[in-house]
Amino acid sequence: MRDNVKRDNRRALPKYLLTLLLFGLLGGVLGFFTGVAGAAGVAETVRQALDRVLAVCAPWGIVGSAVVLLGAGWYLYAAAKRRFAAWDGEDEDAMDAAEQQLSWALLLTGLVIILDFFFFAASIIYDRFLQDLILFLAAVVVLVVLQQKIVDLERRINPEKRGSVYDMKFQKTWMDSCDEAERAQIGQACYRAYMVGTKVCIFLWVVLLILNFVFDFGLLPIAAVLVIWGVMQTAYALECIRLSKRKGEV
């Protein structure tokens, strides 16, 4: 009987080593040029330019992201609501389209959360905390209301769904109301997110390591990325162990 494990390893190893070699060479070249840039004083020029840009953009970032992204989210929600109101109870394609619109609206609310937290942090750093706090809280209120409207409409489309966005255990309640097919879909999406997140963490580690030669920001940004990566890896492994034990008990 042929050893398929050794055969697969022999096939994959050359490509793996070549990839490591190419990325090593690329990293060396980038490291050299970033070192030159650091010696030429590029870091201070870029830092000052970023400070000026963020100081100007921070007050408008929360408002801009809310108007554009939440405006689009409300538009998609309203379109899905109209589809549901006109539904004859038989056209499943219409409801599939409505649920797609609700999913896109939820994605936009997630992006708004990230952008608002970023611009609010920038406001604190650039001494605009009190001025932008009201804008931040207003954007959060509008965002939560939109999420509540989306979830409520999704529950009306699928009456078996349970949960309120104001419930601290909403995610668990919603997950418990999903059927096996929906749970499998959520599992596939989570695994995809985990894989993308792992690749992004590796990419950020490399980028931050190289940029440190220019900006000399130390280990804190690199450590932050590694903490996120470590939490993802640990949570994934522990959950796999837990699920395998439960499967064995069944």
HEC per residue, the chain: CCCHHHHHHHHHHHHHHHHHHHHHHHHHHHHHHHHHHHHCCHHHHHHHHHHHHHHHHHHHHHHHHHHHHHHHHHHHHHHHHHHHHCCCCCCHHHHHHHHHHHHHHHHHHHHHHHHHHHHHHHHHHCCCHHHHHHHHHHHHHHHHHHHHHHHHHHHHHCCCCCCCCCCCCHHHHHHHCCCHHHHHHHHHHHHHHHHHHHHHHHHHHHHHHHHHHHHCCCCHHHHHHHHHHHHHHHHHHHHHHHHHHHHHHC
What pLDDT is stored for residue 51 in this prediction? 74
Q: Given pLDDT bands bounded at 50, 70 and 90, which one contains residue 141?
A: very high
C-alpha 108/C-alpha 218 separation (Å) is 34
What pLDDT is stored for residue 37 in this prediction? 53
pLDDT at 93 over 80: yes
Q: Given pLDDT bands bounded at 50, 70 and 90, which one contains residue 1?
A: very low
C-alpha 232/C-alpha 229 separation (Å) is 5
Q: Given pLDDT bands bounded at 50, 70 and 90, which one contains residue 15?
A: confident
pLDDT at 42 over 80: no
Tell which wins on pLDDT, 89 or 151. Answer: 151
What pLDDT is stored for residue 209 in this prediction? 83
Pick the closest to residue 150 from 74, 96, 70 (CA basis).
Answer: 74
Asked if 73 contacts 146 with a C-beta cutoff of 8 angstroms, the reply is yes
